Amino acid sequence: MSNILGGKTIIVTGSGGGVGQHIAEEAARQGANVIVNDIGKDSDGYSMAQQVTEKINSTGGEAIASQDDISDWSAAEKLIESAMDNFGHLDGIVNNAGILRDRIFHKMSEEEWDQSINVNLKGCFNTARIAAPIFKEQETGVFVHMTSTSGLVGNLGQANYCAGKMGVAGLSRAIAIDMQRFNVRSNCIAPFAMTPMLMAGVPRETEEQKARWKILEKQSPEKIAPLVCALLSDSAIDITGQIFGARANEVFLFSQPRPIRTGHIGHDGGITTEAVIDRILPAFKPSMYSLERTTDVFSWEPI
């Protein structure tokens, strides 16, 4: 056991398996008290959160299980209360819980949209907003939210997921700005990891698909946890409002939207629709972004 997070109490949502489980286990190994939150159950109906909790406690860590649904405000309140009731304080939240409801946009249902947004974005708001007064009062606290390159870059058939994960990046930035004066930090990570949620949607039929699968297998979920725990630690006390990425043994720092070109029309009557069409748009075109997807931008194999 290490002590990088010694004495801290950390909630990890969606930690009954995959990336979240490894984050919870690494946080415990680094000395944190961990609330393992997940609504999932295994094929025998046993709580996945409880299984991870038992594993952490059996190896000398300190963890409790929560099956509260963070997409519901009242349930999210119970999650925060459980941390305070069991450990007396709360120091960090990892908003990792997420779901996929993939569908090409022109066939996406309202239900598929709502289900995705409620977990991927509203769930992050619920836990962060409920914990915010606690962090404000104690003048310390840290959020780590999981965004995705599906939102930051783009992906096919994921309008709901893309919108939610892009929203998470905006939410994190807003929290960082609003709560900076209370020494509360908020950062995002876009994780690359082959988890059960993602593996089910990856075809392995053609030779090309099989080759792609071998590349994806390198992106093991335990590789995300070190960056998360580093951001939770006091060593990152001056880092907030940032967007990171983690893939195998690589860590990325993402750019954030800023103006890259400017155009003005200060003569011939000033700006008009015709002037924008004739002058501004042609001048901007060389700097415009193409419709790339994540695999186009991250074109090299994981290291």
C-alpha pair distances (Å), 110 with each of 38, 159, 164, 224, 235: 25, 12, 14, 32, 43
Write out 68-120 in H/E/C secondary structure: CCCCCHHHHHHHHHHHHHHHCCCCEEEECCCCCCCECHHHCCHHHHHHHHHHH
pLDDT digit string, tens, across residues 153-177: 999 999 999 999 999 999 999 999 9
Which residues are within 8 A (CB) of 70 and not within 5 positions of it... i.e. 6 or more apart?
13, 37, 76, 79, 95, 97, 119, 123, 124, 126, 127
Q: Give the rounded percent of residues in the chain with a pLDDT score beyond 70.
A: 94
The number of distinct structural domains making up the chain is 2
222 and 281 inside one domain: no
278 and 172 inside one domain: no
275 and 196 inside one domain: no
Q: Give the rounded percent of residues in the chain with a pLDDT score beyond 90.
A: 84
Q: What is the pLDDT of residue 266?
A: 75
Helix (H, G, I), strand (E, B) or coil at 148: coil
105 and 217 inside one domain: yes
242 and 269 inside one domain: no
81 and 129 inside one domain: yes
Let me know if residue 147 belongs to a domain: yes
160 and 297 inside one domain: no
Residue 29 phi/psi, 5° resolution? -65, -30
> What pLDDT band is residue 207 in, cutting at 50, 70 and 90?
confident
Let me know if residue 1 belongs to a domain: no
CATH of the domain at 172: 3.40.50.720
Token pair in block for residue 235 = 């060593």
Strands 9-13 and 243-247: unpaired
Instruction: Report the chain's mean pLDDT, rounded to a whole number.
Output: 94
Q: How far apart are CA 96 and CA 58, in angstroms?
A: 24
Strands 33-37 and 62-66: parallel
What is the pLDDT averaged over residues 140-150? 98
pLDDT digit string, tens, across residues 246-276: 999 999 999 999 999 999 887 767 899 999 9
121 exposure class (CB count in 10 Å sphere: 0-12, 13-18, 19+): buried
Let me know if residue 248 belongs to a domain: yes
249 and 264 inside one domain: no
Residue that terminates a domain, selected from 253, 272, 290: 253
DSSP line for 254-281: -------------STTS--HHHIIIIIH
Helix (H, G, I), strand (E, B) or coil at 35: strand
Cα angle, residue 66 at apex, residues 168 and 234 outer, rounded to 5°: 55
Let me know if residue 172 belongs to a domain: yes
271 and 211 inside one domain: no
Let me know if residue 2 belongs to a domain: no
Token pair in block for residue 264 = 């003005």
| pTM for the predicted model, two decimal places | 0.93
Helix (H, G, I), strand (E, B) or coil at 245: strand
Q: How far apart are CA 173 and CA 188, in angstroms?
A: 9
Residues designated as active site: 161
Let me know if residue 276 belongs to a domain: yes
14 and 124 inside one domain: yes
Judged against a pLDDT cut of 80, whether residue 199 lies above it is answered with no
243 and 290 inside one domain: no
Q: What is the pLDDT of residue 240?
A: 98
151 and 277 inside one domain: no
- Domain containing residue 225: 9-253
Let me know if residue 36 belongs to a domain: yes
Closest CA to 152 of 229, 59, 255, 282: 255
Let me know if residue 159 belongs to a domain: yes
